[in-house]
Structure formats: structure tokens, C-alpha cells
Structure 1
């Protein structure tokens, strides 16, 4: 009878002890015991090499009490988890085995439940949308053309560099603009850079280059090509309707100078000589024609030149011009 009473007293005392909030820094002899008897308390629950939900639970609770980093909650029991378990065992006055028994698991769970998770390390700031890249070396398209046009308006780029292709000249102009505005000289246009370039471009008056047209271009409908300036103009009765950057023939295959007429149009001619498609082709002298060139769009003026044709670097511009030009319209080519 005395034995039964003693056991009851001990059980009651243990239950009372469990009501207090545990502290990992409390002396080991005051460690709270699991609230219920554990069958086979020394049975191994997890050890080096173990995996699964139980391991993840151990890691999470060790993280909560500040013994493990959040990026170590992996469900895999590696050396970092083992070291954290040893540290926990040492703090609780237990043998530092690095192996989690049922008893260790109950203690780790209890301490983890009693404390708030450690404060999370602030996540690295994501780049704001203003730092999103709009254009960089190698880019092409309408946005690049807009950047180039505005850089031209503020005097940082020449008009013949408005090509819709972001080459080294455009990159250098962007760096110069960034330097003038006190920004980091990356040569890459972010949304913020684009907004500034557009703003300053809009505020500047563009100096229109004087167009010196050949007298033959002043009447009727004419495509006027200046090989020296690498420019092409669509002109009606002396009024310039559109201006384009063009590439003409290389030294060994020059574009013929003179007065011609468009004698054939084709939306996507295929050259059997050079095995390449020629979108929006307008023939004017033998096999020489005005057409869009994907190579010119890709490499700009870095190549040797065309095989005699007059190349355009914008498919949309070529399509529009093709829709305007009629068979019989003049083509004037000057040196």
C-alpha cells in the first residue's frame, strides 16, 4: 500500500513539473520528462543517413530552439543535423551520441513546441520592376529603335545607327547617357533607363538631317537609294514619306547605279543562286532587288555587304514599303 501511495505522489509531482514551460538553458537535472511513459525509450528513431517526416520534425524543432538553420530542414539526417542533436543532448546533460532515441525525440519535440521559431533571415530583395532589363547588346526590335532614336535626339548617337539592332555603338551611347545621368555605366537599358532616355528624348528637338535628293526623285513615285549614305527614301512628288537604313552590294558585287523601274514584286522570293528567302522582294535591275534581309538584321554592317541587292533590316518596314510600291515605280540609285 505504501509503495502504491509513493508511486502516486511521484506521478503527481512529475505531472506538475510538466506544466512549467521548458527552457533549454535550465540545468540538466531539471529537464522536463515526457508527459507519458515511453515504451523502449532507448529505441533509435533517427540517425545519420535517415530520411523522412520524422527527421524533418526533428530538424524543425531543433531549428525552433536555435540549434539548426532553416535551410537544414531537408528531411535528410546529415552531419549538420547530427551536430545539432549532439548539442541538444549536451545541453540536456545526456550522452552526446548524435543518435535520436525515442526519449530524445520526445524531449526535442517538447522543447520545440514550447518556443517560437527563430526569426527568419530577411529574404534578399528581389530586383524591382524598374531594374528589369528592356534591351542589351544583341537585342533587336521596335524598343531598340525607340532607344536609338531618342539617343540620337539627345546627340549621343548618329542617325545611321538607328537600325533596330542593339550593337556596340548603341551600347556605348547608352553608357554615355548613364554616365551623364550619374547612373552605373552598364550599357544595359533597364525600365528606369528606358523611361529616362524616352523622357530626355521627348524634351529634345531632333535635328532633321537634310535630305539631298537626286533631281530624278523630285517627281512621281520613287525609291531613292544613296549608297554612300546607306540610306533609302520612299518619295512621292519630292516629299519624303519614309527613310530607311540599307545595306548595298559588296565591292565585288556592287549595286548598280542609275535609273530603273520596279519590274517584278514577290512577297517571299527564293534565291536559287544563294539558297535564301528574300521577303518582300521588289526587282529593279536584273537579279538586283530591294528586300528584307535577316542577315542584315542580325549582323548589321559588320559583314562584307550584299550580293548586289538593297537590304532592309526591318521586316515590318519592308512589308509596309512593299505594300506602297507599285510595279513601274522609279528606283534611283546614286553613289
Structure 2
């Protein structure tokens, strides 16, 4: 009988116990087979003796039956969508805030203020000819404009209000006003020249008054009625006690506005004038009745149908108060006009644009181009502007050009 190996059970079909695979069995000696149990040898083949030793069988694990699977269609995995490229955010430019302007220095005096401090301010500005008229003690438009002009001229911050820097510069350039000056109390001083005086000092006085349009007669050595009248007019204009006599205040103010007369002026020698070049007219001045005003030539021409009737020197507004360019018309004539804003005379005024007018200016006659107007067109030739005033009519064209 063949030897049967006993296997452990309990494993899955086709699996072998782990200990059988790991530990070999000792050899088994088989007994001699009996003839009954032997198969007959095939005919024609030699019979070999059977081996006497049988080694332990080597068990090959039975392969597990492969289950038959019904094939299903293999679905290829859908390709995952490629991520859309995200736009790279553009580099944002860093906006740096503009540096803030430094704050205006605190105002010591400004529009709306009143009192003795304002009176002191106004008189100091009056000394420098930035302020005109009576001392009021009220900080109004005239005071603000005077302060703004002073600040601009001196390279200070032009606010129209008085800060410490403005006050320091103004005080350094002026003297302390007297109580009478601050309250418009005019007291004449002792007379230096008076009616009846004679000599070279009288001639000098007359020549200086003639330079600024107050004296019109021939220069003489005698202080007569014409000289007295001229002195009174000058004193009234300059807020000096009106006496017709020359005191130190009158003389100082007159000297401050005039130059030393030449020998010809003192002796009534009239120099020959060089011929004045013809004025170049703007094309808009060639038809009709036109007051033609050129800023670059600093001249005014009265023109009728393209023909120049007369010309005169003119002066214009400052950078802060410029004279407007353009085509206008005379809308109002005022022979003895006085400025409502500055309380200053504007004789023979021909208004053409808002408050701007052509008019005579004694200041222009005295100082020439050292000063400026508040926007008006100043004429220093009194006779010429008087003739223009009489010849012009409301509605006449006014052309102001560069």
C-alpha cells in the first residue's frame, strides 16, 4: 500500500500549512512490496529493483484556480482638466502721497481784526506807500491787499495775514507811528518855507512839485500864490496838515517822491525831445474809434479809422493785480472819480473792464515805472489823458494787448 501523507487542514484550497513547507520530514523506509501489490512490469522492459529508501515527498502547492472574470469595458480615466493659468497680478505701483504743504504760520493779525495793532500796521504800510488813505484800525480788503503786496515784494509767504516773519520785516523797515499819526491827527510843524520866501530853495521846491504835476508855471525864486496852491494840494493828497507852508514832514515826503532837479529844470531850459518811434498797432485797432493799449510798448494810442490821433506813456497792474488783455468798450466816464476801495483819486477815468480804467496817476508821474497800479492803466501826462477823456465816448472800443 502506498504511503499517504497526512496534511493539516483548515487552509484555503490549494494552500499549504506553513510548518510543512518549512520543516523537512525524516526518510520513511518502505517494506518490500508483495507481488500482489505490484503492478506487472511491461513486456519487453527489464525489471529494475525498486528503491529501498523513499525520501519525503516534496509538496508543490496546488495553484489556486483563477476565477473566470467577465471582462467589462475598461474605461479610461478621464483626463483631469488642466488647471487654467491664473493671470499673474500686475505689480501695483506704490503711490506715494504728495508731501503736504507746510501749514501757514499762525496769524498775529488778519482780516476782520481791529484795534491799535491794526492802526500801527496800517501806518507802517503807509510809510512804505503800500497803504493809502486814512488810518481806520479795521483790517479790511485794503489792508489785506497792502499786506499781500508787501509780502510778495519781500519774498514772504503771501497770505494777506500778518505772521511773525512779516511783522519783523515790516518793523525793521519802518518807524514807530506817533499817537497822532495812528489817529489821523494832523499837526503842522514849524515852517521851513512859506509865502514870501525867496532863493534857490524855493526854485528847488517848485521844480520838485513840477516833476509830480503840482506846479505848472515857470520856475522862479519867489514863493507866491501858485507855489502856495501847489503845496496845499500836495499836502492834502498825502494826508499832511494843509497849511500851504512847507514843514519838515512836507519836505521829507516831497523829497521821497522826487529826484534832484537838473540845472536845466531849475532855469527853465526845455531839452529837445528825441523823436518818438511810431507805435505799432494791433490789427483790432485799425477800424473805428479805438483806445489801443500795448503792454510791451507801454503806450496808449487814440486811433480813429487806423490813424493815430495821440499817444501817451502808460503803466499797468502788478503780477498780483494784472491789467486784463482783450477787447472791451468804454462803459462809464468819470471825470473826478475817487476809488471806493483805495480812497484815492482817479481823475479822467474811462472804465472798460470791471473796476479797471484808464486814468491819470500822480504817482506814475512822480515815480515812473518804479511802481504799479492795482490793475488800471495809469497815464502820467495829465493834459494828454484829459484830452482823451474829452474826445472819447461811451461805447468806444478798448483793445489791450501784449
TM-score range, shorter chain: 0.3 to 0.5
Q: Which has the higher contact order (CA 8 A, sep 6+)?
A: 1
Structure ranking higher in helix proportion: 1
Structure ranking higher in strand proportion: 1
The TM-score with structure 1 as length reference comes to 0.43
